[in-house]
């Protein structure tokens, strides 16, 4: 009985959503879905002006999703990007977004499916116009094959604590070594050498 209680206690702590969100009132937040959130979080955290990136879930009306349920709820793995607008603007965050992915696929290799789809979430009309203009430009570059959704953010749910800063905390993980780090390096090669 004690073993069962201990197992339940440990497993519930792994899935608690106690992630602390930044409280600096000078920061703005933008939301992006682009494949695995471990990769996207690391990409945005490498960009000057970004102060924090939080992995989570958005894009569905179902409340309180978890990593185990998002494949059924319609949520996408999403990253909340906290940034200083005096150092980087929303339009540049969208440039980062498109430079870090293939906008013609639903998901990013090797992660495909609804929970890995490409979405730029906006919080207001100004952001929507910027996102739509950037999408139109990228779509033209890819001959009308871009699949990025542009949606109003309804609610963002931070992912379980063990997903936060996953690439930094698990550099020897096989997925991180085979997928996350190479994707981050491809982005850096394009972004920082432009």
Domain borders along the chain are 22-187
Q: What is the pLDDT of residue 46?
A: 96
This prediction has a pTM of 0.85
May I ask the CATH class of domain 22-187? alpha beta
Please enumerate in sequence order all residues whose Cβ is within 8 A of that of 108, keeping only pairs 6 or more positions apart, or say none.
34, 35, 36, 39, 101, 102, 116, 183
Q: Sorting pLDDT into bands at 50, 70 and 90, what band is 14?
A: very low
pLDDT of 109: 61
The catalytic residues are 36
* Rounded distance between C-alpha atoms, residue 146 and residue 161, angstroms: 32
Closest by Cα among 142, 169, 146, 178 to 41? 169
Query: What is the rounded average pLDDT for all residues in the chain?
Result: 84
pLDDT in tens, 74-94: 789 999 999 999 999 999 999
């Amino acid at each position: 009985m004690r073993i069962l209680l201990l197992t339940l206690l440990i497993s519930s702590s792994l899935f608690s959503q106690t992630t602390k969100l930044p409280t600096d009132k000078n920061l703005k937040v933008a939301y992006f879905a682009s494949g695995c959130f471990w990769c996207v979080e690391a990409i945005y955290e490498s960009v000057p002006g970004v102060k924090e990136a939080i992995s989570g879930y958005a894009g569905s009306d179902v409340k309180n999703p978890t990593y185990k349920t998002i494949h059924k709820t319609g949520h996408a793995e999403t990253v909340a990007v906290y940034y200083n607008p005096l150092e980087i603007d929303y339009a540049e965050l969208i440039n980062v977004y498109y430079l870090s992915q293939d906008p013609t696929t639903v998901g990013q290799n090797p992660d495909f499916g609804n929970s890995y789809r490409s979405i730029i979430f906006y919080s207001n009309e100004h952001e929507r116009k910027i996102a739509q203009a950037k999408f139109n430009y990228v779509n033209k570059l890819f001959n009308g094959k871009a699949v990025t959704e542009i949606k109003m953010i309804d609610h963002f749910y931070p992912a379980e604590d063990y997903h936060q800063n996953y690439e930094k905390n698990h550099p020897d993980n096989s997925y991180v070594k085979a997928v996350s780090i190479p994707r981050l390096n491809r982005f850096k090669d394009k972004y920082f050498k432009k």
